[in-house]
Amino acid sequence: MKSAFKKGRMIPRVKGKKRVIKTATKRLSRLYEVKKLLKEAKKIDIDPSEGKLFAYVYETGNSELQSIAKEANQMFHQSNYLDFTVFKSAMFFEKEVIKFAKKIFNADDGAVGTFTFGGTESIMIAVKSARDKFFNDGKTGKPEILVPYTIHPAFLKSADYLGLGVKKIPVGRDGKVVVDELRKNITERTALVAVSAPNWPFGVVDPVEDVAKITRDYGIPLHVDACLGGFVLPFFERLGINVPKFDFRVDGVTSISADVHKYGYAPKGASVVLFKNRELKKFSIYVDVSSPGYVLVNQTVLSSRPIGPLASAFAVIKYLDEDGYVKLTRNIVLARDRIAEGMQELGFYSLFPLESNILCLSSENINLLDFVVNMKKLGWHIHLQREIKDLGFPWSIHLAVSPVHLNKVKNFISDAKKALRMKSEFSDIDLERDIQKVVSGIISGKLDASVLPLLVNYFPQDLAVDMIKDTVISWFNE
């Protein structure tokens, strides 16, 4: 290629230079288009920092915390957790996160843990541990899990994936598992008993100490699902608030799951599961030495995954430390109590005594479907929970309160008043007769997943499940 010498450097001929400029322009244009699409997609989502979410994201409102979490995630987003002998930062971060969790859950030196990408994964490997222990102990038949009616669906999903049966135990009017009923349902095939601290629907803590007495007698593992409350209930105690014992201080608790990406305030993809001893964790690990490729060692369900979320969890825990968590928990308690008081003045009441960061509210005179839909129009996202006639629980709304809500209480109560005055397109619906209108609203996107419980109440369960699957496929593919 012919070249010319200009100002001490070689440059291509004009024709080649045009080609370079054209390529660079095309690349910049593509980069601009990608960024534009990303910004447009971002506009579709609600901004968690606005404090109008009561689930999914647990916002502190602390910009410094967000900054250090993002920086940690970015620094390690390409490091692969698959081989922690190559990316040794994984071992450092995980040991530090687990050490903090062991401290707040009062675990002794023999306890061990695993970092996972979410509560479902933490629960799944706890279930795997119990299943493999069941067979290792020489037991036969299809192993079963005993759980309260209010247990998180992750246990049912884990049982479905791992081939276990599930027995649901009723809860009392206090929202907690009925201990006598649990005892009656234990058999030789019971591989695991699981309870909640607190449960998601009602925000109350199951009687872990009473359940542990039973599981100790039978030699059955007891898992405490503290995915929701694990990083907040210990700090309720630091504030002098009475919390039923649920952690390793209870003799008989063999494992605990807790989400760092909930009230640990880390970005999504951060949870832990702690085991009382090394033997229980060994049952949770998968190892393959038969492959001609490499030895596969998985402590979790996922194999390849970025270290970024773990690094973020470490950074957030180190940034906050116990004092920081106590301050944020104080904000939760203040916000929770003020919202409860304000909603009571509007005609709502709490179904249960306030034991955690969850508000479960109902009303005898307010159409809760209308209220949820109208609040969404005003930008607030809250969950509608279906009635449970067999247990005597009415329709309710669910609020998982976060620190950011302390500065949003007045706005929330003000908009709640507006929502009660607004007319909804569903206000005159006879649900028994016009449930199809609700179904159409969900499919069209006018109603979001917060009102899906309606389908469960007005259709046979298998039909409701099938309709939901079809709807999801439509959302993602049409």
Give me the mean pLDDT over the 15-38 stretch: 81
Give me the mean pLDDT over the 452-458 stretch: 67
Residue 352: DSSP 8-state:
S
Q: What is the pLDDT of residues 49-68, one digit of tens each?
A: 899 999 999 999 999 999 99
Percent of the chain's residues with pLDDT above 90: 70
**Beta bridge mates, 393:** 388
Return d(Cα 227, Cα 232) in angstroms, integer: 10
Residue 116 vs residues 98, 167, 199: alpha-carbon distances, Å: 11, 26, 20
State yes or no: pLDDT of 44 exceeds 80.
yes
Q: Which two tokens stand for residue 269?
A: 């993809």
Residue 341 vs residues 335, 336, 396: alpha-carbon distances, Å: 10, 9, 16
Q: What is the pLDDT of residues 465-476, one digit of tens each?
A: 887 787 777 777
Q: What is the model's pLDDT at position 4?
A: 46
User: If pLDDT is split at 50, 70 and 90, which confidence band does 29 have?
Assistant: confident
Residue 177: DSSP 8-state:
B
Q: What is the pLDDT of residues 212-260, one digit of tens each?
A: 999 999 999 999 999 999 999 999 999 999 999 999 999 999 999 999 9
Q: Are 231 and 200 in contact (CB under 8 A)?
A: no
Q: What is the pLDDT of residues 339-396, one digit of tens each?
A: 999 999 999 999 999 999 999 999 999 989 889 989 999 999 999 998 888 888 999 9
Q: Where do the domains of the chain lie, and which CATH numbers do they carry?
A: 64-317 (3.40.640.10), 322-477 (3.90.1150.10)
Q: Are 276 and 252 in contact (CB under 8 A)?
A: no
3-state secondary structure of 231: coil
User: If pLDDT is split at 50, 70 and 90, which confidence band does 462 have?
Assistant: confident
Q: What pTM, to 2 d.p., does this model score? A: 0.89
Q: What is the pLDDT of residues 86-134, one digit of tens each?
A: 889 999 999 999 999 999 999 999 999 999 999 999 999 999 999 999 9
The pair phi, psi for residue 397, each rounded to 5°, is -115, 150
Per-chain mean pLDDT for the chain: 90
